[in-house]
Amino acid sequence: MALNIYLGDLVYNTIKTNYVVPLNIGYVASFLKGKFGQEVNIKLFKYPDILEKALRENPPDILALSHYSWNARLNLLFLEMAKRLNPKILTVMGGPNIRTESVDLKKFLTNHKNLDYHVANEGEEPFARIVGEILGGCARPHPLGCATIIDGEFFYDAEPLEKRSMEISQPSPYLTGWLDPFLADSNTIPLLETNRGCPYRCVYCAWGAMLPRIRTRPLEQVLEEIKYVSDKSAGQLTWMFCDSNFGILPRDVEIAKKVRELVDKKGYPTHVDVWQSKNTPERNIEISEILGKNNRGLVAIQSADPKVLDNIGRGAIKMDSIKQQIDYYHNENLEVGTDILIGLPGESAKSHYNTLAAAFDMGFDYLEPINIRLLQGTRYESDKFRQEYAVKTKYRPIFGAYGIYDNKVVFEVEESVRSTKDMSEEELNNFKIHHWLIFFTWDVGIFKPILLLGKKQGINPEVIIDELSRTQNPILKDLFDRMRKESMKEWFGTEEEMISFYKQPENFNNLVNNFMKLSFFYIALVYQDPEILKALQKEMEAIVTEKLKAKNIFSQNVMNDVIELSGLLTCKNLLEGEKKVTMKYPGEIVSLVTNNPKFANRDIVELEIYRPQEFVSFCRFHLSPSGKENLSLKNIARFLEIGGMNVLKNNIKVL
C-alpha cells in the first residue's frame, strides 16, 4: 500500500498578499516521486483552509511543512491538528527558520511535542531517507540530516554539505507537472531557481549561513522550465528568480535572454525580480540591458559605513561596482533603488544618517530603509552576536499573517532589533520620521522636485529631510510626534506578552480588521487632511529656499516653477477625474524633474501633465465602489497598500 504524504508551504489567506508558487515543496515532491514511484502518493498545499479540509477528510501517513518566519506558528497549529486527527501520523518540518546546532534542534523538538522531525538545510535527500526507511519497514528512523527524538533519545547527524555535488541533478517540479495548479492560480507569483547557495556571509541572512557554496541546476533544465512556466502560467505579470546572486555565473546571461525572448513573444512578465550578484557589475548591466524595463533595478547597499559592512559580512562588496550599476540605469533612463537596514551591528545614529545621505549622493531613485527582523539560524540572531552588540529586540505582528484555522486563533510574531550598544531605541525610533519622509517625498515623489532642486545645488535630500523632521510647524510637529508615539506603541517587550494580548478576541478582531502598516496609515492621514499636505510643501520650500539663499544661488523664478510643476504632478484629490494640462518650462526645470540631462540646454520645453483614465478608474473602484464614497482612514490605507501608491502622482510627457 502506498505511503500518503501531504507537503505544505503554508501562507495565511485571511488578507490577500503576495503569494508565491510553492517551488520548495515542488522540489521535494518531484524528487520523492522520481525515487519511489508508485510507493508514494503526494499532495501539495499552499492555502491552510484547503489543507485543513484534506486533513479532516483523509489524514495522511506523513505531514511535512516548510518552516519560515511567516508561517512558524501556523505550522505548529497544523501539527497539533494532524496528531489529533491521526495519532500515528509522522510530522516533519524543514526550512531555514531554526538554529541548526544540535543543542538548539533538541530544544526545539523538546518544546514542540507534535513535531517528529526537523530537516536541516536542503531538504530533498534527508526527507527521502525518512520515507525510504519507512517504506523499508522502520517505523521511526533517524537518518542523516534529520533531527528527531525517539523514546526520549535525541538523534542528529549533520550532513556534510561540502561533499555534495556542485550540480543539482534532480527532477524539475515544473517539467513533471507538480506545480501546474499553482501556475494556473493568478494570485501566485512564479518562482525560478537556477542555483542554490551564497558565497557571502551576511550576518542577518540565512542563505550563506546554510549553503555557503553555489550549486547549479542544469542549464538545459532551467531554460525548459522558463518556457514551461510561460506556457502554463495564468499570465502573471511578475516573475521572481530566487537565486541569492543572479548574475554571478556567466550562464545567467543566457537565462536572461530566454526570459526576454518569451517576454517579447507573449507580453509577460512585465517585471522580473532578481537579487543581483554583488561584485559582477558588467554582467549585471548586461542582464539589465537584456531584460530592459522588465528588470526592476535594485542594488542593495544596507550600509555605507565600512566598519559596519565588515561587521555584517559585506566588507568584500565593492562600492565602485555599485556606482557603476547605478550609472548604467540612469544612462538608460531607468530608475534604480536600494535597501538600507537600520540596527546593524556597530551602526550608530550618525552612521545610519550618513548612509542615508550617501545613498542620495550615489544617485538612488528610491530608498527603502528596513527594520532588521531577526531570523532564526542567522549569525545576528545568535546568542554570541546578541551579547557582543548588546542587541535588544521587541515583537510585533507580521502584516497579513493571521487567521482562524481549526477554529483557533493563530498569528505570527516578528522579532526585530530595537537597540544595540551603538544605537538607542529612541534614536532608532526617531528615524521613523526620516524613513517615512523618504518614502512619501522621494520614493513616491510627492514634492520630489523641491528635493531635486536642492540636490542639484549641493544640498543633500537627507539634510532637508532631517531638518523637516525637526520642524516646529504645529501641524507637522503634531503629526511627527504622533508617529513617534504610535511607532513605539506597536512593539511588545516579550513574545509572550504579544501572544497573550492578541489571543484576546477583541484584540485579535482588531488586528484582522484594522491593522495597518504605519507608513500607509500616515499617508492616508495626509490625504484626509489637506492642511498637512500644504504644510509639508511650504516647510520643504522654506528649508530649501533658506539653504539656497545661504549659498547665494537662490532664484525665485526657478523656485516658483518647481513649486508649480510639483503641484501639478501631485494628485491632491484621490477622486478627481481624468485631466490633461499643457505647460511650458525652462529646459533646466524639465531636466531636473525628468532626470534627463538632454533638456538642460533648451530654453523652453513643452510638457503635458495628465491623469490617465486607468488611474481614475483604479481610485474610484476602491474609494467609491458603486458610486458610494469611502474615504475612511482604513479604506484609504488599504487602497494605498494594494497599489494606490502608484497613482498618487500624475504622469508627465515631453511634447
Query: What CATH number did the domain enclosing 143 receive?
Result: 3.40.50.280
Is the domain of 200 the same as that of 302? yes
3-state secondary structure 432-446: HHHHHHHHHHHHCCC
Which whole number is the average pLDDT over 272-285? 86
DSSP-based three-state secondary structure for 145:
coil
DSSP classification of residue 409: E
Is the domain of 213 the same as that of 76? no
Is the domain of 58 the same as that of 120? yes
| CATH code (residue 336) | 3.20.20.70
Is the domain of 196 the same as that of 157? no
Q: Given 335, 352, 384, which residue is the final one in a domain?
A: 384
Which of 414, 319, 307, 315 is closest to 370 using CA atoms?
A: 414
Is the domain of 204 the same as that of 261? yes
Q: Which residue has the higher pLDDT, 467 or 594?
A: 467
Is the domain of 217 the same as that of 142? no
Give per-residue pLDDT as tens, 329-346. Answer: 888 878 889 999 999 999
Position 296 pLDDT exceeds 90: no
Which whole number is the average pLDDT over 424-444? 96
pTM for the whole structure? 0.92
Say what the pLDDT of residue 38 is: 96
Which whole number is the average pLDDT over 598-609? 92
Position 209 pLDDT exceeds 70: no
615 residue type, one letter: F
Q: How far apart are CA 196 and CA 194, in angstroms?
A: 7
Is the domain of 147 the same as that of 195? no
Is the domain of 129 the same as that of 204? no
Which whole number is the average pLDDT over 353-379? 94
Give per-residue pLDDT as tens, 26-43. Answer: 999 999 999 999 999 999
Q: Given 163, 198, 213, which residue is the final one in a domain?
A: 163
Is the domain of 199 the same as that of 300? yes
Which whole number is the average pLDDT over 620-626? 91
- What lies within 8 Å, CB to CB, of 67 at 6+ separation is 75, 93, 94, 95, 96, 97, 98, 118
331 lies in some domain:
yes
Which whole number is the average pLDDT over 132-138? 96
527 lies in some domain:
no
Percent of the chain predicted with pLDDT > 90: 82
Position 18 pLDDT exceeds 80: no
Report CA 163 to chain centroid distance, whole Å: 32
619 lies in some domain:
no
State how many domains the chain has.
Answer: 2
Binned at pLDDT 50, 70 and 90, residue 429 comes out as very high
Which whole number is the average pLDDT over 307-318? 85
Say what the pLDDT of residue 186 is: 92
Give per-residue pLDDT as tens, 550-585. Answer: 999 999 999 999 999 999 999 999 999 999 999 999
Is the domain of 138 the same as that of 204? no
What is the domain range of residue 259? Answer: 190-384
Is the domain of 156 the same as that of 211? no
418 lies in some domain:
no
411 residue type, one letter: F
Locate all alpha helices (DSSP H) within 551-612, ordered by sequence.
Answer: 556-569, 587-594
Binned at pLDDT 50, 70 and 90, residue 160 comes out as confident
600 lies in some domain:
no
Is the domain of 129 the same as that of 209? no
With beta carbons less than 8 A apart as the criterion, state whether 593 and 600 touch: no
265 lies in some domain:
yes
> DSSP readout, 178-196?
TTHHHHT-TTEE-EE-SEE
Position 384 pLDDT exceeds 80: yes
